[in-house]
Structure 1
């Protein structure tokens, strides 16, 4: 069993490391280009038409990946600070949301820490990109992200045409005017890809984190604890927030 001063020393270093990792993830979710991908293929109208190579850009980041990174970074910190706070006080309280107990017997000192961290999670979720409502998106298992419907656009090229303004006569040559005309020579088939999430999913996550913050505030007045024992709180917290399973390191 670890001593309290050892837990405190480890917790301080863990806080610094986690802050650095969360800041990096937060910066990445601000860059919309990382979440965007595209696939374009060209099809000429006839066999003799000009051909063009396909174009493809894979997404470099996605909301599930961002959530995984942030959850993993915070998991160890949540647990080690919980262990420290559990040893600092006796008072305890359950954190309950809509009659569902998220955590039981939580000390007040940890609730103060948890409230601040959940506010950071709230800021993170608020910054998550959402899918463009102008597109019809469907989840693509192959691309592991959302894909739009195929759109088709024309590929044109300019072709010179002659217009006879005046026919040739015995005394004058024909008057011919040359002009260019855009002629369709093929079609682009385009599928957009996105690592963002539907707005409803983002709003649902924001609602859950807001409810949990309120529950922590409500229970904070009666929460405390005393001994240095390993405490695992990260998994139920992130399982609730992001509806996913994580394993704390």
Structure 2
């Protein structure tokens, strides 16, 4: 009695062999001349006429033989796949992470599904936005988002000024130089908000999915180590089809 992982290893070879042999059978069917035969005899018109030897071509391929060959090629494959699928119905294992069974007695087919889906979840986690490390973030319970500490910045305005270079005299007017001065007129208070995640949270999620992936693979290997009872389904199928 083989184990499921051994049956899986055999299945690929059985499938390749069946496809190759079935292809050869189909090539034979594509040559009608091989399935045809003929017999010709010649009789002269009178006794003095020329006598010719008979001619014949034998049938080289019989359709019933082709069907038997096709069945012979496919029966092994049908049996191997049946053995695997019937065994998969009974093959189960626990998915254990850090000593705790996250899932108990999971069928091997569902473990295969989990492997594929967890790979997609891993890609999703890899695309999660992370909070800018240059900022200090705190969680705002009221708005359910992350926020930074308030940062105050001054708002300035250019105010024209005049500087007297020379005072006015009875002979000359005053000489005045104009310029502008930046004067603080107010204060902006900035608070940034974000729906991204802290880097520690993303790293935690990434670690969790990786550990679960490893546990699922281990469970699949364990389930595939179960013994598989040999099944003979091919003979029954082709016994009905080509009877």
Report the TM-score, using the length of structure 1 for normalisation: 0.53
Match of 1:208 in 2: 208
CA distance in 1, matches of 2:172, 2:213: 90
Distance (whole Å) between structure 2 residues aligned to residue 111 and residue 130 of structure 1: 31
Contact 1:111–1:223, Cα closer than 8 Å, also in 2? no
Question: In structure 2, what is the Cα distance between the partners aligned to 1:199 and 1:173?
Answer: 69
Q: For residue 180 of structure 1, what is the aligned residue in structure 2? A: 180
User: Which residue pairs with 2:152 in the alignment?
Assistant: 152
Residue number in structure 2 paired with 1:198 = 198
- Report the secondary structure of 1:187's partner residue: strand
SS in 2 for 1:112: helix
1:140 aligns with 2:113: no
Q: Residues 108 and 222 of structure 1 are in contact (CA less than 8 Å); yes or no, is this contact kept in structure 2?
A: no
Q: Which has the higher contact order (CA 8 A, sep 6+)?
A: 1
Structure 2 partner of 1:220: 220
> What residue number does 2:115 align with?
115
Secondary structure, counterpart of 1:201 in structure 2: helix
Rounded to whole Å, the distance in 1 between the matches of 2:223 and 2:150 is: 55
Residue by residue, what CA displacement relative to the aligned partner does 1:117-137 show, whole Å, maximum 9, x if unpaired? 111111111111111122221
Look up the SS of the partner of 1:222 in the other structure.
helix
Equivalent residues of 1:93, 1:222 under 8 A apart: yes
Q: 2:124 & 2:169 partners in 1: Cα distance?
A: 80
Q: Distance in 2 between matches of 1:121 and 1:165?
A: 75
Tell me the SS of whatever aligns to 2:121.
Answer: helix
Residue-by-residue CA offset, 1:107-160 (whole Å, 9 max, x unaligned): 222112211111111111111111112222111111111111111111111110
Q: CA deviation at 1:93?
A: 0.7
CA distance in structure 2 between the partners assigned to 1:153 and 1:126 by the alignment: 36
- The TM-score, its normalising length taken from structure 2, stands at 0.54
Alpha-carbon contact 1:109-1:223 (below 8 Å) kept: no
Q: Is the 8 A contact 2:88 2:108 kept in 1?
A: no
